[in-house]
Amino acid sequence: MSPRTRRAIEEGLLPTLAALLVALVAGDLLILSYGQAPGAVWRLMLDGTWGNAYGIGQVLYKATTLAFTGLAVAVGLRAGLFNIGAESQLAAGGFAAALMGLALPPALGPWVAVPLCLAAAAVGGGMVGLVPGLLRARFGAHEVIATIMLNFVVLAFLNWCMASGGLSVPETLHTRAIPHASVPRLASFLEAFHGSAANLVLLVAIATAVATGWFLFRTRQGYELRAVGLQPEAAENAGIRVPRTWLIAMVASGAIAGLGGTNFVLGYKQYFEDGFTGGAGFLGIAVALVGRNHPLGVVLAALFFATLSQGGLAIHALVPKQMVEVLEGVVILAVAMSVPAVRALLRARPRAAAPAAAPVAAEG
């Protein structure tokens, strides 16, 4: 392994490991403050998540959505853009998938309906991402402000469509069911997962992570996107069209987040429901940061935050489930603080070793 590769791995792993250690210590202190034994609480969390098939299924279901939103934020960050609109893009994708499912005749069957609904979800999320992308590329409007404001606009618009467009079932907040466009749950293949919401959209999330990694690190467009994220002025001097790259990044980011809406709409409930996102779009920001904007890291971070989310329900009998939210914040802050510290240590290490090697060379 080359020194450059080893250093890249260390810079990627060490901040996350340090953050997890800090979160573990903070969690122990919080648990002790409630008069409980940390070992018993952590054991209960593991038993309620990875200790049984139902818990594993619920973790996988929640991690699926978080993987999509985390990848969406990571693509934007790689281009130097902070996409905080994954929440509305996720909702728009789910809504577009539901509309496509309702428009398709049941006779088509899932083999045709599901791919079309997936495509509609990507288009729906991509269209929401297109707006801040155009504003940034054409007028220089900051994407943070644009995506924050667009969250309210899109979510309110979807709520209006449900209320005034005759799409919702009377006295409910959801559309009619679309069973002909449903994605099978894991319980259909493994009985042990009975009752959990995990479904085969998980495979779409994995495929999306692989495709994102290939795009970022194996294509010219991905190289240009990363170059713009590192130094837009230098990238422009090298002939890269920076505004165009920003636009592509925001549309791709929105499309990935939009695909996440199918986890609920096609894989779980088989209908769109107002407010189904539950903050998964915003939590995707934490997933991307902890995953260091790398597709593999994002997937692992999604599993971690999904474990915390499901574990909060398991430990509610001993400590408040809000403790999990505190731990999520601790992890994010710890990662933010440990990244520059780890980089400084790694950069200082070769310089510290250099004087020791000098006398040997002189004697030779």
Looking at the whole model, is its pTM more than 0.85? yes
Residue 149 lies in a domain: yes
Residue 358 lies in a domain: no
Per-residue tokens: 101: 């499912």
pLDDT computed for residue 361 by the predictor = 43
pLDDT computed for residue 346 by the predictor = 67
Residues in the chain with pLDDT values less than 50: 352-354, 356-364
Residue 351 lies in a domain: no
Rounded-to-integer distance, Cα 263 and Cα 198, Å: 9
Measured between alpha carbons, how far apart are the two ends of the chain, in Å?
28
Domain tally, the chain: 1
Per-residue tokens: 134: 């155009």
Q: What is the CATH number of the domain that holds 81?
A: 1.10.3470
Per-residue tokens: 96: 């577009």
pLDDT computed for residue 349 by the predictor = 67
Show the domain range for 54.
37-318
Contact 137, 244 (CB under 8 A): yes
Residue 93 lies in a domain: yes
Residue 342 lies in a domain: no
pLDDT computed for residue 70 by the predictor = 98
pLDDT computed for residue 245 by the predictor = 97
Cα distances from 259 to residues 72, 114, 201, 203, 243, in angstroms, run 10, 12, 9, 12, 25
Residue 17 lies in a domain: no
Residue 345 lies in a domain: no
Contacts of residue 131, Cβ cutoff 8 Å, sequence gap at least 6: 146, 150
Residue 325 lies in a domain: no
Q: pLDDT tens across 183-211, in order?
A: 999 999 999 999 999 999 999 999 999 99
In a 10 Å sphere around its CB, with 0-12 CB exposed, 13-18 middle and 19+ buried, how is residue 268 labelled? buried
pLDDT computed for residue 350 by the predictor = 59
